[in-house]
Amino acid sequence: MKPHRLCMTHHLVLSYELHKKMEIYRPHKAYPVELAQFHSADYVEFLHRITPDTQHLFSNELARYNLGEDCPVFENLFEFCQIYAGGTIDAARRLNNQLCDIAINWAGGLHHAKKCEASGFCYINDLVLGILELLKHHARVLYIDIDVHHGDGVEEAFYFTDRVMTVSFHKFGDMFFPGTGDVKEIGEREGKFYAINVPLKDGIDDTSFTRLFKTIISKVVEIYQPGVIVLQCGADSLAGDRLGCFNLSIDGHAECVRFVKKFNLPLLVTGGGGYTKENVARCWTLETGVLLDTELPNDIPENEYIKYFAPEFSLKIPNGHIENLNSKSYLSTIKVQVLENLRYIQHAPSVQMQEVPPDFYIPDFDEDEQNPDERVDQHTQDKHIQRDDEYYDGDNDNDQNMDDV
């Protein structure tokens, strides 16, 4: 098996010596017109316009777009959305252009956002935008979600199509957010049987979760034959998460990443939820190592945030101790029902590919219009710096001979 070329569009991992084996890539900030490829233009415009100082003037719009308690308005909200969405969009484009085999955006994975509203701390659904990019080059995209919450925004976006299969493993029941994700939710019309939900109860452990995951994902890949996989690695399914209720260790969580990688398909990996921050950093660091075939030492090296990892200062965390309410018979019933639904898919759907739309919409930047006496902030300067390792068309493409890592 040839080595994987891996690029990362956002560096949110601990300070292990990982960077020597991958390319760190600074993505562009997504433009409003790019965000409107999925989201409604009026919603995007409102996110662009609203600020903490002006939100009291827009009570009706805040309610309409579900901004408030779970999705607060904060300073530089729109720029935040542009950065994480741009990371996933560029990750998809680099995969499409075969500039890497695996692309990571740990800042992405905000899977709850809907076309016209925010939801569950998610404002712009970068996953949907990334998948739309991948569909320009791939007939079938497989989306896998191991966040403790149901990937409802992504499922809803592709509920009526067979070109994207969504598979979500999540806590379901007891009024747990977002309240969707029953095993009976399977898609509609052309998308019937192309939405797969694996509803789980409190306390599932590594053994039960990974066994079910491998069985279902193996069958999905065999039948659906995707051209590319998007894997959302929400870390709130870990033991000890402030909002989660599973018993997964970091090793158990990472085993799912390791398993998906073995299919040797183009792979876009994102973050997602995670509310015990030191364990989120541990998890995505270990999983970056997994994607690089690099085993990391358990002792966390000295860094400016080392105090957060006291007293053990170790990379891995053990299983949790919540009672496992997922009986063998319950998990067997779920597995049988999911596999039975897959039987209705006779073969991988074929798609007549149209002319591929262009990747980029870049507004003109006229240096002559810039005031030389005006101070330019660092973010603006960064946006206009051409880096040697970024992708350009034609003779400026420095990635054409990029070595495998």
CA 80 – CA 187 distance, rounded (Å)? 32
Q: Which residue has the tokens 């894997």?
A: 231
**Alpha-carbon span 92 to 137, nearest angstrom:** 10
Is 112 one of the catalytic residues? yes
Q: How far is residue 269 from each of residues 107, 130, 203, 380, 395, measured CA to CA in Å?
A: 10, 11, 25, 27, 30
Strands 195-200 and 228-232: unpaired
Cα–Cα dist 68/50, whole Å: 12
CA 138/CA 145 separation, integer angstroms: 20
Per DSSP, the residues of 312-364 read: T-BS------S-----HHHHHHHHHHHHHHHTT--SPPP----PPPPS-----
Q: What tokens were used for 89?
A: 């969009």
Q: Which of the following is catalytic: 112, 137, 138, 149?
A: 112
Tokens of 263: 């299919």
Active site residues: 112
